[in-house]
Amino acid sequence: MTDMWELDGEAIEKRVAFQAQVRDLVWRETRRRMSFLGFSEQEGPATPNALAPTSAAAKAVHLMYLEVATEVGHAAKQLATDAATRAGRAAATYADLGEAAGISRQAARKRWPEAVGTHWALYLLTGKSRPHGMTVQVLRSSSKAIETGLAAVDEGALTEEGAVGAVVINAAREAVWACYFNDGTYAPEEITLPEDLQHVPAPGEDGHSDWLLRWDQHITRKL
């Protein structure tokens, strides 16, 4: 977890300001709900501590504040889970997730056990003549990705713009399965990609476009 003492002055000010915004959001929602306690938004206390500390009204307000704060925590937890899942699909590691969340890699793995390594990218090379097209799908299981790739290449023979090659890439950006349409057997043929094509840079990284070109050339030589 990030130590406040390790932050510079500007970073600390931003964090404090953000926390104040969250507190303000919780308090505004608490005031909105005060109608259930018999207050109007205008009649209610201006701050959480404006009532007599031991009064029944103060107890009701503080419990309402706690209820809202707890809901905010649940919402933030779900937002974090969604963000971790999307980051995992974009090839983030548990070390990356832990650094972003201010926790250890092990804690990130425990908190989001399905965020990393549970998605596979299916790349399809399309069109029987060059320049080929390219499509990408993200699936949640390797078997579904392979099944989808095989079906696409098998059915691709029926149209000029159909798929002629497929490769499945795991979350570690490793090519774990590939095939192309073999005109000799009239069926998809599974292949092992050469070593220099087995690691696939993520979209946006240096080398990704080069990998796509080299994979295209490799499949084209087989067609």
Domain boundary among 58, 79, 111: 111
Domain hosting residue 91, numbered range: 4-111
Q: Are residues 82 and 137 in the same domain?
A: no
Domain boundary among 111, 146, 176: 111
Q: Are residues 131 and 104 in the same domain?
A: no
**Count of structural domains, the chain:** 2
The pLDDT of residue 5: 47
The pLDDT of residue 3: 56
Domain boundary among 111, 141, 164: 111
The pLDDT of residue 118: 66
Q: Are residues 24 and 106 in the same domain?
A: yes
Q: Are residues 135 and 74 in the same domain?
A: no
Q: Per residue in 148-199, pLDDT tens?
A: 999 999 999 899 999 999 999 987 789 999 999 999 999 999 999 999 999 9
Q: Flag residues of the chain having pLDDT under 70.
A: 1-8, 36-44, 117-118
Cis amide bond preceding 131, omega within 30: yes
Q: Are residues 45 and 90 in the same domain?
A: yes
